[in-house]
């Protein structure tokens, strides 16, 4: 592999994953249904076209590989050329060309809306993540996402979070232990719950546990938890928790945090701040596709 070697990758790459294939197929199926009747009626068979995708609002472009996959699923011969790098930020509200597409006119028109629906949402998530990451810059805290993602888009939205410069919490229920209040009740307390999970853990797999008071924090630390979620703590309580933990565990602040108080939270000394809004309330970034020939 030596000839092409650059220093370790900076920009996140979109992972190959059966789930991404599945949501692209599903999205196309739900839009195309039994076939695009308008295009079938109006576009001559064999017609080819060239088109551009334009960014129409300031923000981070994210989802170009998904756009490419959407058109490829309709017609393998469509040529897709990114014009700007995935993850690049545009501050203008102008009409930046982010990609060019060339090939079957029918495929381009049929795939347009599905491609843009992915692009506008993922770019929205990346843009919100960028904003959040900037707000905590200079603090020891890292902004992370949650599992409050759009059904079917988990892998893509978590990718968009990374593209925007924030980080990912666990990807799903199989990817790390997070013991919440209901698990604690079921297990009979924080200590037995943590110990049960530790017994089940793979090498190096950390067990996270949620606490709602400083007293519970003590119990979690005593049980050997090395990652602890502070559920709906005030910033004052967070500072107390940081003092109490004395580095024995990393702390995640969660609940009731938005862009307005994010910087305050980050300055309390917690290691992670998790924001459901990165994915569930990011909004969309406007893009359009224009046929130019």
Tell me which residues are annotated as active site: 113, 148, 180, 210, 231
Which of 275, 239, 232 minimizes the C-alpha distance to 255?
Answer: 232
The interface mask with a second copy, positions 246-285, x = CB under 8 A, is ----x-x------------------xx-------xx-xx-
Q: How far is the CB of 88 from a second copy (least distance, A)?
A: 15
Beta carbons of 146 and 274 less than 8 angstroms apart? yes
Q: How far is the CB of 91 from a second copy (least distance, A)?
A: 21
Taking CB under 8 A as the rule, does residue 114 contact a second copy? yes
Taking CB under 8 A as the rule, does residue 288 contact a second copy? no
CB closer to a second copy out of 183 and 239: 183
CB-CB neighbours of 150 under 10 Å:
14
Among residues 69, 98, 126, 179, the one that binds a second copy under rule CB under 8 A: 179
Taking CB under 8 A as the rule, does residue 130 contact a second copy? no
* Alpha-carbon span 199 to 91, nearest angstrom: 50
User: What are the helix and strand counts (H, E) for the chain?
Assistant: 11, 12
What are the φ/ψ torsions at residue 47 (nearest 5 degrees)? -60, 140
CB closer to a second copy out of 4 and 91: 4
Which of 160, 101, 119 minimizes the C-alpha distance to 278?
Answer: 160
The interface mask with a second copy, positions 14-43, x = CB under 8 A, is -xxxxx--xxxxxxxxxxxxxxxxxxxxxx
Among residues 94, 138, 140, 192, the one that binds a second copy under rule CB under 8 A: 192
Query: 63-93: buried (b, 16+ CB within 10 Å) or exposed (e) per residue?
Result: bbbbbbbbbbbbeeebebebeeebbbebeee
Question: Hey, which residues between 138 and 157 contact a second copy (CB under 8 A)?
Answer: 142, 144, 147-155
Strand 207-211 and strand 142-144: the pairing is unpaired
Residue whose token pair is 């920009």? 11
Q: How far is the CB of 220 from a second copy (least distance, A)?
A: 13
Among residues 121, 129, 238, 245, the one that binds a second copy under rule CB under 8 A: 121
Q: Residue count at the site for a second copy (CB under 8 A)?
A: 120
Question: Hey, which residues between 48 and 87 contact a second copy (CB under 8 A)?
Answer: 48-49, 74-75
Among residues 81, 93, 94, 205, the one that binds a second copy under rule CB under 8 A: 205
Residue 79, beta-bridge partner list: 102
The interface mask with a second copy, positions 222-251, x = CB under 8 A, is ----xx----------------------x-
Distances from the Cα of 125 to the Cα of 28, 36, 72, 163, 197, angstroms = 21, 29, 24, 9, 32
């Amino acid at each position: 592999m030596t000839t092409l070697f650059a220093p370790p990758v900076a920009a996140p790459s979109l992972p190959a994953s059966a789930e991404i294939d599945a949501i692209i197929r599903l999205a196309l199926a739900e839009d195309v249904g039994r076939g695009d009747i308008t295009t079938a009626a109006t576009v001559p068979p064999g017609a080819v076209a060239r088109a551009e995708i334009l960014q129409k609002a300031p923000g981070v472009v994210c989802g170009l590989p998904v756009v490419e996959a959407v058109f490829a699923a309709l017609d393998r011969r469509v040529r897709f050329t990114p014009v700007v790098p995935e993850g690049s930020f545009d501050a203008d509200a102008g009409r930046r060309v982010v990609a060019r597409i060339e090939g079957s006119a029918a495929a381009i028109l049929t795939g347009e809306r599905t491609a843009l629906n992915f692009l506008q949402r993922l770019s929205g998530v990346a843009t919100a993540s960028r904003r959040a990451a900037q707000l905590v810059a200079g603090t020891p805290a890292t902004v992370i996402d949650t599992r409050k993602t759009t059904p079917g888009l988990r892998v893509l939205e978590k990718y968009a979070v990374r593209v925007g410069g924030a980080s990912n919490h666990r990807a799903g229920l199989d990817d790390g232990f997070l013991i919440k209040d209901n698990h604690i009740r079921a297990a009979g307390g924080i200590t037995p719950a943590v110990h049960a999970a530790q017994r089940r853990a793979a090498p190096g797999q950390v067990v996270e546990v949620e606490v709602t008071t400083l007293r519970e924090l003590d119990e979690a630390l005593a049980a050997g938890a090395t990652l602890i979620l502070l559920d709906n703590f005030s910033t004052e309580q967070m500072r107390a928790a940081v003092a109490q933990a004395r580095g024995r565990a990393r702390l995640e602040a969660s609940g009731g945090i938005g862009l307005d108080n994010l910087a305050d939270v980050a300055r309390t000394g917690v290691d992670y701040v998790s924001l459901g809004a990165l994915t569930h309330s990011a909004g969309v970034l406007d893009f359009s596709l224009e046929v130019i020939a």
